[in-house]
Amino acid sequence: MLRLQKYMAESGLCSRRKAELLILNREISVNGKIVSELGIKVDPQKDEVCYKGERVSIKAGYIYMMLHKPVGYISSSHDQFNRETVVDLVKSETRVYPVGRLDYDSSGLILLTNDGGLAFKLTHPKHNIKKTYLAKLDGIPAKADIEKFEHGLLIDGYKTRPAKLKIINIKDGKAEVEIKIYEGRNRQIRKMCDKINCPVLTLKRAAIGELGLGGLQPGKYRYLTDDEVDYLKNMPDAHKN
């Protein structure tokens, strides 16, 4: 037996979080009856799950892609304002969706898959997945600012988890930095840098865990190797190392 939202995620229909919203919005039926509670479990061999009248089935195989997202694309499978999305950049007969998000004006590594279980692991805050970013800042962080990153900053009413900021280069009053965080709240790095009065000019995600872009160019994508998929599935909590 599987929880309904997990079943939907593993079918490739959507992420687990999106599945929960569809259930709460009464858009999912099980054996012909609309459901609206998140605790329901289904038997993949016996129960019929439908979305908008179409049966939702778990697929035998999963697809895993790495995309170098350019600036100017939405990290979603569709956009209400008809802006281009990361899904528009890949060719796949099987529906895939992005794992997590990158801002419209940010670039870098984003994963796309139909494996809802892996997507959940990589995006849920409890797993402390390390993400590495390269940024250009309008200003030069002082030693005290770097220590604030390491101890956590108060933004939007919450304190960020300990993060790392390392200055790579300084030129014309602007700093190129490497930032490592272990959560992924909305526009978190930009808000953290605003907090130390060094606004972000450019931001690029370079790696998720130890999986990096390598030589993948903006707008291009590739399928992950079996070893890379195994690495992501077995990636330990970064704070336990």
Residue 134: predicted pLDDT = 98
Please tell me whether residues 200 and 95 are part of one structural domain.
no
Residue 81: predicted pLDDT = 82
Please tell me whether residues 120 and 218 are part of one structural domain.
yes
Per the structure, how many domains does the chain have? 3
> Residue 87's domain is classified under what CATH number?
3.30.70.580
Residue 53: predicted pLDDT = 84
Instruction: Indicate if 103 belongs to the active site.
Output: yes
Residue 172: predicted pLDDT = 97
Report pLDDT digits (tens) over 5-17. 888 877 777 878 8
Please tell me whether residues 136 and 197 are part of one structural domain.
yes
Please tell me whether residues 231 and 117 are part of one structural domain.
yes
Please tell me whether residues 51 and 69 are part of one structural domain.
no
Please tell me whether residues 114 and 159 are part of one structural domain.
no
Domain hosting residue 44, numbered range: 2-55
User: Which position among 79, 103, 145, 172 bears the catalytic label?
Assistant: 103
Given the structure tokens 């933004």, which residue do they identify? 155
Please tell me whether residues 74 and 104 are part of one structural domain.
yes
> Residue 191's domain is classified under what CATH number?
3.30.70.1560
Please tell me whether residues 69 and 113 are part of one structural domain.
yes
Please tell me whether residues 93 and 190 are part of one structural domain.
no
Q: Confirm if 81 and 34 have CB atoms less than 8 A apart.
A: no
Tell the burial category of 110 from Cβ atoms under 10 Å away from its Cβ (0-12, 13-18, 19+). buried
Query: Which residues of the chain fall below pLDDT 70?
Result: 45, 58-61, 237-241
Residue 69: predicted pLDDT = 97
Please tell me whether residues 140 and 234 are part of one structural domain.
no
Closest CA to 110 of 101, 120, 121: 101
> Residue 13's domain is classified under what CATH number?
3.10.290.10
Terminal-to-terminal C-alpha distance of the chain = 33
Please tell me whether residues 28 and 87 are part of one structural domain.
no
Q: What is the pTM of this model?
A: 0.74
